[in-house]
A and B are shown apart, each in its own frame.
Chain A
Amino acid sequence: MSIKLFIVDDHYMVIEGIHALLQNESEIIWLGHATNAASCMAFLQHQLPDVILMDINLPDKSGIDLCKELKSLYPSVNILGLSTFNQQSFIEKMMANGASGYVLKNASRQELMEGITTVVKGKEYLSFDAAMALRNVDKNNSVPVITRREKEVLELIADGLTNNEIAKKLFISCTTVDTHRKNLLSKFEAKNIASLIKHAMQLHML
């Protein structure tokens, strides 16, 4: 099975490097390369690759925006994000904008090939390091996390004190008490204070 590959990256070294890395792969047909978003789009008007390796950092437009634009015009093209950035935010945004996968520039030839052959089938691919970055530590979603000050305010609200009284007792301003109050309502998804207290008691936080 032959795969038509195109690469967009503003560093020649990377383009040459990947070229060299994949030169022995018989499946890969190189359509060309671009060093910025504009020339990439121009090229696509003449030829469509199966897979595009797309750098996030391009001089004229972010790879994330380019990805979105490209996918809307040419949905059949599969995009593999390529980057040095291992942050959850970059990976999530790239995938949300239509990328089929994400590979870090420290990936091995094997990972790169795996990525290319996986996305060309229309499946999603994350390199090992990219997948690790997206792994969220298990969060205890049922119990809202509240800060110490919020807890203090919550207890005093439950005792029936007014904002003013709470402010005096904790040596903070009334506006601060109000902020804590609003945040508590938001965290417990409560419409009013009565509901807030009920939730808190059910969760044994009071």
Chain B
Amino acid sequence: MLSGIKYSFNTMKGNLIMTQENAQAFERSMDMLDSSIKEMRRVAHNMMPEALVKFGLDTALKDFCNDINLTGVLRISYQSINIENVMFEQTTAIAVYRIVQELINNTIKHAGAENAIVQLTKADNTLTITVEDDGKGFDKNILNFSKGIGWSNIQNRVDFLKAFLDVKTEKEKGTSVLVEIKL
């Protein structure tokens, strides 16, 4: 709808006669409208990506990794085995998506990594998620004292899924996080 408004205003601009000041104010407003639209879209997309709802977990994660690759901040390789065409329960799919999102955000913010792997595999009734990076790793003990809500979010989701979480990390050796979920 905001895009439609933008179109309409753009056309009106051609048909109106404005003073110099008004024209400048108009252009500035158009720019602000543009930025607001972009920002709103970004937030909405982060909160609930359309692809997750419409096409499922595999596609949504592929899009997510692709989007990050396009920004160039991290090179993510997405691997999925036996996941195509699997219909996950929506709450499970959302929880898994959020876990991966959170872990990759951590990687981008803290790891200083160049490459990362996001892997989803399904064997019998177990879904295994692996998120790895080749960054600087961290001292695992700080997880017990972390003040930020990032890891507790991940832990909460893991608990919600009644899943198993394992973190392998060492300074300078990168980080590998494994989540195993019984479906």
Contacts and interface: CB of A to CB of B under 8 A. Distances in A.
B100 to A, nearest CB: 14
Contacts of A148: 132, 168, 174, 176
A146 B49 CA distance: 27
Contact of A88 (B6, B41, B63): B63
Interface string B67-86: 10110000101010100000
Interface stretch (B16-24, B88-96, B118-126): B118-126
Contacts of A105: 3
Given A62-B54, A87-B49, A179-B121, A135 B3 contact: no
| Interface SS, A side | helix
B47 interface: no
A101 B49 CA distance: 22
A188 interface: no
B181 to A, nearest CB: 12
Interface residues of A, number: 39
Contacts of B3: 13-14, 17, 84, 105-106
A13 B59 contact: no
A55 to B, nearest CB: 11
B7 A20 contact: yes
Interface string A168-196: 00000001101100110011000000000
21 contacts: A13-B7, A14-B7, A17-B3, A17-B5, A20-B8, A21-B10, A87-B63, A87-B67, A89-B51, A133-B66, A133-B67, A135-B70, A137-B69, A137-B70, A137-B75, A145-B117, A148-B132, A175-B123, A175-B124, A179-B126, A187-B79
